[in-house]
Chains A and B, each alone.
Chain A
Amino acid sequence: MKNILLNEVDAFVDLRFLLERSAERFPHHTAFMELARADTVRRVSYVEFKDDVHALGTAFLMQGLKGARIALVGENSYAWILAYFSIVNIGATVIPLDKELTPSELAEQIGRAKVDALCHTALYSTEAREAIGRCGREVLHINLGSMANGGLAEELLPLGRAEVDRGNDAYAHVELDVERTCAIPFTSGTTGKSKGVMLSQKNLVADVRSACELVSWTSRDTLVSVLPLHHAYESTCEVFSSIYYGSAIALCPGAKSLPRYLSLFSPTLMVLVPLYVETFCNRIKRAAEERGSIRALNQAVLLSCALRRLGMDMGARLLSEPRAVFGGSLRTIICGGAPLDPSYIRFFRGLGIDVLQGYGITECSPLIAVNRNNLHKDASVGQVVSCCDLKIGEGGSVLVRGDNVMSGYLDDPEATAAAFSDGWFITGDLGYVGDDGFLRLSGRGKDVIVLSNGKNIMPQEIEARLAQSPLIVEAVVVCGATDKGGVRNLAALIYPDWERLDGEEDAYRCLKREISRMNRELVYYKRIAQFVLRATPFEKTTTKKVKRFMLSEALEGMTNV
């Protein structure tokens, strides 16, 4: 096995130290960028960022928020990151909320987390006000404003700055307990109701350091941040890691603005989920088709891949036009959150862009494994980070323990107890570590279907088979509602390609034939016994995972195969 030493990473104990280190090492380098109207770029340097955190942190302390729980909602913005650092650096706890939640859902999480204050960006004033009104608690309302449109934390920042100028050094004297919970992100809730994940500075810092040991970039790199910041994946793997490296991050407020951000900032590195990688690939291919040059594109990709194997990177020269979709300078994509088909990795390699798959879970801050810049394998999720041990348990279950693992779920001792086995966190995923030291995932254990004959079925395996049919867009395999001969059968919820089918009756007839054909290729206990067709695609979490728990009631009207 090829072995490459880990990148050397400086020691730092908490996020305040991380910020101060970068302000010292890269004082005048741009840390964050936003676009104002007429494409004017607003920039903040590392030393300005540190001073702003100092001022806002001081203002928070003056509001009596030390040790408080402070929720945070807003689009990707400097205001959001400034608030996050100001909260965790004064020994308070940040509760990053999903901006796509409705005010009622925000209110529910605010209530459940017993929040004392809610910080929001200017864009989310209405939702924040409504959520506070509905949560049934006294919650301090803090408008962070917006850097892009002027008016960043208009009340608190000047107040904090004036206090610092007057010699108020309360911020500098806050002693941070790295073991204390400093962030409570809510999990996306694929396996049940969303749960608050209690993470400490120690957890986050361990994961950032480990991420940097495996994936390296530099202060010359530019990133465009588009995944929602409330996800630990985006905050740890993109923002905190970039702060360590002293890179510049352009904060894109949403997917609609992404093309403009890519063209203006020409990122060299991006952190994405498969949806983006797949959509960009499809967009490039579609453009080539429209120009009648799809064959030339495919040949150029193959040639470029072959040249790269010989050590010649000609992607930028051979394929400058498709690369322009990303602004023309993109070198690396870190992709996580869901499995990515390796064919996309090969396509982007041809363009001269390395796609490094990673794997993590919010409960692990979140990174568990990632491929490296100089050592990567397409079908794997990479090497395990140094801050945690990983073992494969019964049935291939991936278990981890280490400094990046949460202390538990908020006010949920039962769920916490169920999440651990002898001190090992049960990720719920199945996989194995090959002789090459790379982790490969084979499915999600928490979705495993256990039949009454003792057979464990990974629904994803059968779903992938079903999805190969041109008549099926998406399928979810679940445990059937009825028993046959004492064995619970598998059932499929299918969202068919309705355009290929002539109405419901025809759809059921065609699908029955199709599934029967597929069943013949499957071992008996993996056969689909029943199915039902859906009119709409499956509801997904913000990270595009099907909300399986919402499908348990959807077994009515099953048709037998």
Chain B
Amino acid sequence: MFERVKRIIEDYVRRDDLQITGDTDVLCDLGINSLELMELVCAFEMEFNVDIPEKEIRRFLIVDDIVAYLEKESAVAE
């Protein structure tokens, strides 16, 4: 899951210098603003076929938060 999330982020931010880890801050480290984060979340929704409510997005502080949310949703779907 982490690798898939990481790949989507890398595709979105397109920065070679960025080392994405679970602790990477989704706004500060990725250098995106709150609106761009919404766009990134749409990419997760398409990849994982889930609907991520905006209320949940506000809880995404680091990459691991996203991974944990998607793992939980995938488990529910199965």
Known: A100-B58, A255-B54, A536-B25. A275 touches B17 (CB 8 A): no
CB contact list, B10-29 vs A, under 8 A: 17-18, 25, 27-28
Contact between B35 and A254, CB atoms less than 8 A apart? no
**Minimal Cβ-Cβ distance residue in A for B53:** A123
**Bound CA–CA A275/B54 (angstroms):** 18
B38–A536 touching, CB < 8 Å = no
Q: Which residues of chain B come closer than 8 Å to A276, judged between CB atoms?
A: 35
Inter-chain CA distance A279–B34, complex, in Å, is 10
Measured in the bound complex, the distance between the Cα atoms of B39 and A258 in whole Å is 10
Residues of chain A with a CB closer than 8 A to B35's CB:
255, 275-276, 279
Alpha-carbon distance between A66 and B49 when the two chains are bound, in angstroms: 47
Instruction: Please give the distance in Å from B76's CB to the nearest CB on chain A.
Output: 18
Quote the shortest CB–CB distance from A167 to chain B (angstroms): 43
Q: List the B side residues contacting A259 at CB < 8 Å.
A: 39, 42
Closest B residue to A127 using CB positions: B55
A256 adjacent to B17 (CB under 8 Å): no
In the assembled complex, the CB of B54 is this many whole angstroms from the nearest CB of chain A, namely 4
CB distance from B28 to the nearest CB of A (A): 6
With contacts A275-B33, A536-B28, A537-B27 taken as known, whether A255 is within 8 angstroms of B17 at the C-beta atoms is no
The closest CB in chain B to the CB of A500 belongs to B17
Residues in A with CB closer than 8 Å to B38 are 254-256, 258
B-contacting residues, A200-259, CB 8 Å: 253-256, 258-259
The CA-CA distance from A446 to B64 in the complex, in Å, is 40
B71 interface hit (Cβ, 8 Å): no
Instruction: Give the A-B pair count, Cβ closer than 8 A.
Output: 35
Whether B67 sits at the interface, judged by CB under 8 Å, is no
**Which of B17, B33, B53, B57 sits near A279, CB closer than 8 Å?**
B33
User: Which residues of B are found within 8 Å of A123, using beta-carbon distances?
Assistant: 53, 55
Task: State the CA gap A75–B25 with chains docked (Å).
Answer: 26
A79 → B minimal CB distance (Å) = 17
Cβ of B41 under 8 Å from chain A: yes
Render A533-561 as a binary contact track against B, CB cut-off 8 A, 1 for contact.
Answer: 00111000000000000000000000000
Chain B residues with CB under 8 Å of A279's CB are 33, 35-36
Bound Cα distance A259, B31 (Å): 21
The distance in angstroms between the C-alpha atoms of A535 and B28, with both chains bound, is 9
A256, B36: Cβ atoms closer than 8 Å: no
Point out the residues of chain B lying under 8 angstroms from A255, CB to CB.
Answer: 34-35, 38, 54
State in angstroms the CA–CA spacing of A537 and B27 once bound together.
9
**A259 to B54 CA separation, bound complex (whole angstroms):** 14
Chain B, range 22-78, C-beta contacts under 8 Å to A: 25, 27-28, 31, 33-36, 38-39, 41-42, 52-55, 57-58
A482 to B31 alpha-carbon distance, docked (Å)? 34
Ordered by A's residue number, 11 sampled pairs between the chains whose C-beta atoms are within 8 Å are: A75-B54, A123-B55, A254-B38, A255-B34, A255-B35, A256-B57, A258-B38, A259-B39, A275-B33, A536-B28, A537-B28
A interface vs B, CB < 8 Å? Answer: 75, 100, 123, 253-256, 258-259, 275-276, 279, 499, 535-537
**Which B positions have Cβ atoms within 8 angstroms of A?**
17-18, 25, 27-28, 31, 33-36, 38-39, 41-42, 52-55, 57-58
